[in-house]
Amino acid sequence: MKDQKNEIEATEKEAQMALTKKNYVLMLIGFGIIILGFILMIGGESTDPVNEFNYEMFNFQRITLAPMLVIGGFIFEVYAIMKRNK
């Protein structure tokens, strides 16, 4: 009887999902960071692109900060997927 109980418990542990609720919450946070990075890349358009060049698209926010956020978000996603709960 005890052996059957241990086998059932072992089978239940194997049947558990690989990712928990905490993993999914962390993945949503990472996704939010990625979306924020893409939102920060938006803009810098010119009202008259043929006659006027807008240098606003080369500012720190679009060239440096936003890509760092996107890459950081992807790294955070890998962490969120790989994190194991005790």
Instruction: Assess if residue 12 is contained within a domain.
Output: no
Instruction: Assess if residue 4 is contained within a domain.
Output: no
Place 40 in a pLDDT band, splitting at 50, 70 and 90: very high
CA dihedral 21, 28, 30, 36 (to 10 degrees): -160
Q: What is the pTM of this model?
A: 0.75
* Euclidean distance between CA atoms 19 and 28, whole angstroms: 13
Instruction: Assess if residue 72 is contained within a domain.
Output: yes
Q: What average pLDDT does this structure show over 32-56?
A: 86
Answer with the residue of higher pLDDT: 65 or 45: 65
pLDDT recorded at residue 15:
62
Instruction: Assess if residue 2 is contained within a domain.
Output: no
Instruction: Assess if residue 6 is contained within a domain.
Output: no
Instruction: Assess if residue 78 is contained within a domain.
Output: yes
Q: Domain containing 64: what range?
A: 17-82
Report the number of distinct structural domains present in the chain: 1
- Mention every residue, 6+ apart, whose C-beta is less than 8 A from residue 12: none
